[in-house]
Amino acid sequence: MLKVLLIAGARPNFMKIAPIYAAMRRRSDIFAPKIVHTGQHYDAAMSDAFFTDLGMPEPDIHLGVGSASHAVQTASIMTAFEPVVIEEKPDWVVVVGDVNSTIACALVAVKLGVKVAHVEAGLRSRDRTMPEEINRILTDAISDLLLTTSQDADQNLKDEGIPNDKIRFVGNVMIDSLMEHLKLADASTSRQDLGIDGREYAVVTLHRPSNVDNAEVLTGILDALTDISLRLPIVFPVHPRTRANIDKFGLADKLAESDIKLIEPLGYLDFMRLYSGAKLVLTDSGGLQEETTVLGIPCLTLRHNTERPITIEMGTNVLVGNDPANIKRAASEALADAKTDTKIPPLWDGHAAERICDELEKAC
């Protein structure tokens, strides 16, 4: 029996942990998984509601770390997680993605001699000003098993000197969650509640400091969105960080005069129902680049780089940065071009979690 601690810290982690946990429960003769929630996202709207939507049980262990600076948060997670590892004595610690919980828990496990598997290994933006990029590089450097979503990620790891025998191309577990829950999301009334059911609309998500912490940059992005909203309404679930800066920079009145509907963050199924019907998605997140690729929805990524270049190669995602003119131009082009030749990347087929379990079992 393999005892596994599955680490969830921030909202993007939950969609990756859920299918792995379910796959392990189906193999209960082999795996004994426990979910560790670090509490990196402490707001129920940003975290706990996702457990319900994803059909996950309450976390077995909740560290309750909360928000802080990168250094304080990472250190707090390490301090709280170390006694858990000592007590549980797991065979594997499985970390996902690139948040502070990922590197913190991986580092604790490695120092205690526990094997670490990194799900979503090898993604690289080449931008070390992004905290997530540092987390990715360091986690991959110390992990025992590197589970990748795409073959370009395999090559990134090889280029960094990672031995081939540590790298396993298993596909994208985020797409497991998407395919599992897309039908369930049909029951959500989020489109009706927002008055957009049966209409064309766009969806925006925005949270990265480079986009929302500078008044001039955020103002420019919102000006571009206001211009796009003249063509179709925009629904904008607002991240708490972004909401605080909209208020801080006095931009709320500007948005009130546009066809941009600011709403609170949605649960997993409600948000899936919302973006899956969108004519256009504008985002600075990672997961939406992947989900819109599979759904064939035009996606404008408001960043200058992406750690998911395969979403551009497949034809649905376009990097536009945060220059207002570029955003407006790319939106016009996307709305005018009804692409039908988009492709789904290899192994983004809804079975990545099973392959992850296969590799963990074989690696023991």
Please list the active-site residues.
207
- Please check whether residue 3 is in contact with residue 89, taking contact to mean a CB–CB distance below 8 angstroms: yes
β-pairing verdict for 167-169 and 317-319: unpaired
DSSP string, 155-169: HHHHHTT--GGGEEE
d(CA 28, CA 34): 12
CB-based burial, 1-17: b 16+ in 10 Å, e otherwise: ebebbbbbbbbbbbbbb
**Strand blocks (E) in the chain:** 2-8, 31-37, 61-62, 92-96, 115-121, 145-148, 167-169, 202-205, 234-237, 260-263, 280-283, 299-301, 317-319
**Residue 318, helix vs strand vs coil:** strand
Distance from C-alpha of 207 to C-alpha of 199, rounded to nearest angstrom: 26
Strand partners, 94: 6, 117
Is residue 211 a contact partner of residue 322, using CB atoms and an 8 Å limit? yes
E strand or H helix that includes residue 212: helix 209-212
CA 304 to chain centre: 18
End-to-end CA distance of the chain: 11
User: What is the number of alpha carbons within 13 Å of residue 217 lying toward its C-beta?
Assistant: 15
DSSP 92-156: EEEEETTSHHHHHHHHHHHHTT-EEEEEEET---S-TTSHHHHHHHHHHHH-SEEEESSHHHHHH
